[in-house]
Structures are given as structure tokens and as C-alpha cells.
Structure 1
Amino acid sequence: MSYQYKVFNKLPKAFLSVLLLSSFVLFACMQKKQPAKNPPGYDLSKPVKYALPSTLTEISGLAFYKGDSKWVYAQEDETGRVYTFDLKDIHLLDTKFAGKGDYEDIAITREQVVMLRSDGTLFVFPFAQLRNREASAVKTFVKLLPKGEYEGMHADEKTGLLYVLCKNCKADKKDKATSGYIFKLLSGGNVQQAGEFSVRVDTGKKKGRFMPSALAKNPRTGEWYILSSVNKLLVVADVNWQVKDTYSLNSSLFPQPEGIAFDKQNNLYISNEGGSGSGTILKFIFKK
């Protein structure tokens, strides 16, 4: 029998109990989860939550006109309609722009509305036609993008540039990067290719490829906020698409995050498809 064991065995039982209890408390504290990370200025655990009507259960994108959050412009991924509504009084007005299809995102810039279908097809029509029941001057652009699945799009009002990010493209599987494409929105609603970019995101899983569902530019910092419903991640990248940080999304708040936008007060909005529940829009109020 070792000397250390003899000494330990002679210690008072009360002292041993205190020692064991202290060790247990210390271990429990070490196991306690660290507070969730948040992007600067936003608390992702404390949104203002808006439940949407059943028509928008499958909401897949949202946008504002010049950052004005008075009116929300959104679409769901089935019927080829844009819905206009006020979050304070959700009475839906709808404008048909195309037939049934898998529509994934909406962008508004330079007085034009741009709709993205999952196969990369773009639909462009004048913003003023959202006052009508049906848009009559829709331009359709096919095969501008390589074959793949697309869900994320952002339009820059200042430059007139349109950014489209691939969710699942064959070329990305080998390179382990996510491809993006830039277009210039010309007068009259025409679209011209203007460049490419890519973003590399480590999901923390060996077989977990990054699959983005939406993107938006933070108007205050110029950073890119990239959302992934599949990975339950919010990625923040700098102006050159270099990843600065990633933030895990709580699935109870973000069951299926598919849309993202900022208003001109720098508030952040994320929309969720409802699945078995109602679709939602979560507003995260910016705080310095």
C-alpha cells in the first residue's frame, strides 16, 4: 500500500466530503456551455418575432426598397408571386411575375425587382409594377449561371451590382469553396456579367460542405452576412469575401433560415420557412 493512499485514508470523512463536493462543483462549472457568440451589434437569441400567414409558410427570401423597412417584399418558393406587406399589420398584397417554380430569393435595386429561381434563372421587372396584380414587363435570363442549385442573392443599390451565391455546384465539390457570380443591372432591366468570387467556409465537420441559403451586405460595415439553413450557420466575411467569423444558429429560433436583409437603421432581418409551423421573420435590433 502506497504512502499517499495511507495518508488519504486517514483524512477525516467530513473533509473528504467537502473535497469531493468541491471537485464536483468545479467539474460542473468546467462543463457549463460558454455563452453563444453574436456578431457585433446583434443578439441572435433575442429577436422581435413576426409570425406570417399560411401563404408565406414557405417564405424563401425578403428584401426592402432602399432599406426602408416600412414595407417588406418577399416570395415563397412555389407560386411565382411577390408579396408586399407591413410587419405591423400583415395584410398581403401579391404580384404575379411567373408561373409555378422553385423561387429562392428576391432583390430590389435601381428601380428593378430581381427574382432568383433555384436553377439560376433570373426574372427582372420594374419595381413600380409591384402595385399591379401581375407584372407585365418581365425579362427572363436563362443560362447566365453554371448548372447548379442557387438560393442566395444580393443587389447593391449604390453600384447596381448583383451578387449570386451557389448553394450546390459541381465545380465546388473538388475545390471546397463556394462559387459566386457578379452581374451588372443595366437600364431597362438588362443583365450583364461583371465578375466572379468565391468564399471558403469551414463548417467544423469533415463531410459538412457549406451550403448557403441567403446573403446580404451590412450597410454599416460593408461586411457580407451569409446564411446557411443546412449548416445552421451565419457567416460574416469582409469586403473581399475572407471569412471573419461564424455563428451557430439555434434551431428552435431558426428552423429553416432562408432569407436575410438589413434596413437603413442597420437592423438585421432573417426569415424562416415554417415547415409544420408558420413562417417567421426575426428582427434583430442593432445596438452599438
Structure 2
Amino acid sequence: MRENTISALIIFGVLALVGTLWFAYENPALNPRLKQESYTIIRKWELPVALEEVSGIRYFSDDKMACVQDEEGIIFIYNLDTDSVDKKINFGKPGDYEGVTIVDSTAYVLESSGKIFEVSNFLSPEFQTVEYKTPFSGRNNMESLVADSINNRLLLAVKDTDPNSKDYKGIYAFDLETKKVLTNPVFKIPLNDPIFGDKKSKKNKKKFDKFYPSEIAINPIDGNIYVLEGKNPRLLIMTPDGKLVRLHDLNKKSFPQPEGMTFAPDGTLYISNEGKKGTATILEIELKKEK
């Protein structure tokens, strides 16, 4: 009995120490680094091993996330309340799956090749999967997908090489009625925009010479478009008509590889990280207002 009590006290002490260190690390009052950052991490979830390569997340109801990872054709339903996977939907063969979004009872999954998988009635045992080809390829490397329900379309952002220009990264529309991608981008992210910094500066040249979108989301409160970059962790905010308005730098210690992003209906922002040299996570983020 005594040995069990001592063991329990040791475990409790270790957990208390970990909790204290985490609080200190993420508390702006105790960590000077956080005072300089334009966001606050409100809450953190550590994901199970099955989601170590999490590449896309989408909030859809009752604190549940639809998640995909870049190796298996599975939609994982992750429960934020219980910190566990409630359900797995095996919709396709193994592949490089990078984005997921939901329209009513239909889930759409994006492969890096540009293929879109439509999984109708995805929560039902009788779900059906249809595959749509797009003009994109592995050279473009497509990782971003979000539903733009107001315009009855999905939005996809090019990560690497845009098929139409080397001067911008395009955001393209997949029409949900015709099931086809429009030829020209509906929005452009100009790589020479001043928001990315002074490219002539030697200090900034390596970081700011490119922008590699890894996810896209639409804020349900104001309609602003959020574009996440995982390679150089940053978060770009655009107005509903495509104007670039703000760029948030994300600290690599908290965002080692941000690949997924989504909003809850109340505007709560979540960003997921692949398990790069550690455990995969989902972080609830609150962006600070500009002074």
C-alpha cells in the first residue's frame, strides 16, 4: 500500500511539474517571447499516434473535428471534449491526403495531386465516394481546401508552382454544381506584396522570397480568408474580396509544422501541427487585435 502511495505521489508530482512548465511557457506574463507574438494559445490537444501526420482538419459539430492525415484514405472524427477518435471512415486507398472540408452531410478530401474525393453521407455506413480530377498535378502540390458555401464552391490554394504564373499563388474555385475547377484563380496572393517584407533585405531574403500555402479557411464571422503556411510558419489574412491585410508570424516552437486550420461557427480558430519531432497537436488560437 505504501509503495502504491509513493508511486501515486511521484506521478502526481511529475504531472504537476509538466503543467507548471506548460503554463509558464504559454503565459505572456511569465514568458517575454509571448509578449511579442500577435496571438495567444488558449488550449492545446495532443493527438493520438494515428494522427501523427495530421494534414487537414475541419470543425463540423459538437466539438468534433474531421481530420485527415497524409498517408491513409481515412477521415478521423476527433472529439475535442474526450480527446479521442470517435470514428474512422475508410473512404479511399492510401495516398497523400492534405485537406478536408464539409458541406452538409458530404465531406470533400483533397489529395496533393489535386484530386478531390467526394464522400457523401460520410457519417453513415452507406457512404459513397466519388473521385474528381482537376487541372492540377503533383508539381502544383495542393494542400488547401475549404468550403465557400455562400458561393456554392470549394476553394483550393496552390502550395508550390502556380499553373498560371510564378508571380503569385492562386486560390481556385471548384464549382459544386459542375464539379469542375474554374480555369483562372478567383483570388491571387502576389509574392511581391509589401506585406511579405522587404525582399532586398539580406536578413529577410530567405524567409520572404516565397509563400507556400498549406491550408485555407474562411472566418464565419467576417468572411475574411485565412491562409496558413507550414514551411515558414505564418498566417495570412485576406478580405472577402482578396485584399491582403495582415500577416502573423507563428513561433516554430509552438507551430513546428502547421498544416491544418479551421473555424468553429462562433469564430474560434484552430490550427493543427504534424508531429514533427514530437506529438501532433491541435491548438485553439486567439489573434490579438492591431493597436
Q: Shared fold by TM > 0.5?
A: yes
The aligned residue for residue 218 of structure 1 is 219
The aligned residue for residue 190 of structure 2 is 200
Identity %: 29
The aligned residue for residue 113 of structure 1 is 107
Aligned residues: 243
**Pair 252,69 (structure 1): closer, same or farther in 2 beyond 3 Å:** farther
The aligned residue for residue 19 of structure 1 is none
Structure 1 residues without counterparts, runs of 5 or longer: 1-31, 39-43
1:226-284 CA distance string (max 9 Å, x none): 10011211111111222101111011110110011110111000000012211100012
The alpha-carbon deviation at position 198 of structure 1 amounts to 1.3
SS at match of 2:50: helix
Q: Which of 65, 71, 75 is 1:72 aligned to?
A: 65
1:82-130 CA distance string (max 9 Å, x none): 001211213321111111111000010143211000010110021x232
Query: Given that residues 69 and 263 in structure 1 are in contact (C-alpha distance below 8 angstroms), is that contact kept between their aligned partners in structure 2?
Result: no
Query: Given that residues 267 and 286 in structure 1 are in contact (C-alpha distance below 8 angstroms), is that contact kept between their aligned partners in structure 2?
Result: no
The aligned residue for residue 40 of structure 2 is 45
Structure 1 residue ranges, 4+ long, deviating more than 6 angstroms after superposition: none
Which amino acid in the other structure matches residue 154 of structure 2? L
Matches within 5 A, 1:97-136: 97-126=91-120, 128-132=121-125, 135=127
The aligned residue for residue 165 of structure 1 is 157
Which amino acid in the other structure matches residue 94 of structure 2? K
Q: Which has the higher contact order (CA 8 A, sep 6+)?
A: 1
The aligned residue for residue 4 of structure 1 is none
SS at match of 2:160: strand
The aligned residue for residue 10 of structure 1 is none
Which amino acid in the other structure matches residue 180 of structure 2? Q
The aligned residue for residue 26 of structure 2 is none
Which amino acid in the other structure matches residue 264 of structure 2? D
Distance 1:37 1:223 in 2: 21
- TM-score when scaled to structure 1? 0.77
Which amino acid in the other structure matches residue 36 of structure 1? Q
Distance 2:45 2:163 in 1: 38
The aligned residue for residue 169 of structure 2 is 178
Query: Given that residues 75 and 90 in structure 2 are in contact (C-alpha distance below 8 angstroms), is that contact kept between their aligned partners in structure 1?
Result: yes
The alpha-carbon deviation at position 143 of structure 1 amounts to 3.3
Does residue 1:61 correspond to 2:56, yes or no?
yes
SS at match of 2:149: coil
- TM-score when scaled to structure 2? 0.76
Query: Given that residues 200 and 242 in structure 1 are in contact (C-alpha distance below 8 angstroms), is that contact kept between their aligned partners in structure 2?
Result: no
Aligned-residue RMSD, C-alpha? 2.4
Distance 1:168 1:52 in 2: 28
Distance 2:288 2:196 in 1: 28
Query: Given that residues 148 and 168 in structure 1 are in contact (C-alpha distance below 8 angstroms), is that contact kept between their aligned partners in structure 2?
Result: yes
The alpha-carbon deviation at position 131 of structure 1 amounts to 3.5
The alpha-carbon deviation at position 71 of structure 1 amounts to 1.2
Which amino acid in the other structure matches residue 107 of structure 2? V
Distance 1:250 1:69 in 2: 29
Does residue 1:90 correspond to 2:83, yes or no?
yes
Which amino acid in the other structure matches residue 153 of structure 2? L
Q: Give 1 or 2 for the bigger CA radius of gyration.
A: 1
Query: Given that residues 265 and 286 in structure 1 are in contact (C-alpha distance below 8 angstroms), is that contact kept between their aligned partners in structure 2?
Result: no
SS at match of 1:158: helix
SS at match of 2:63: strand
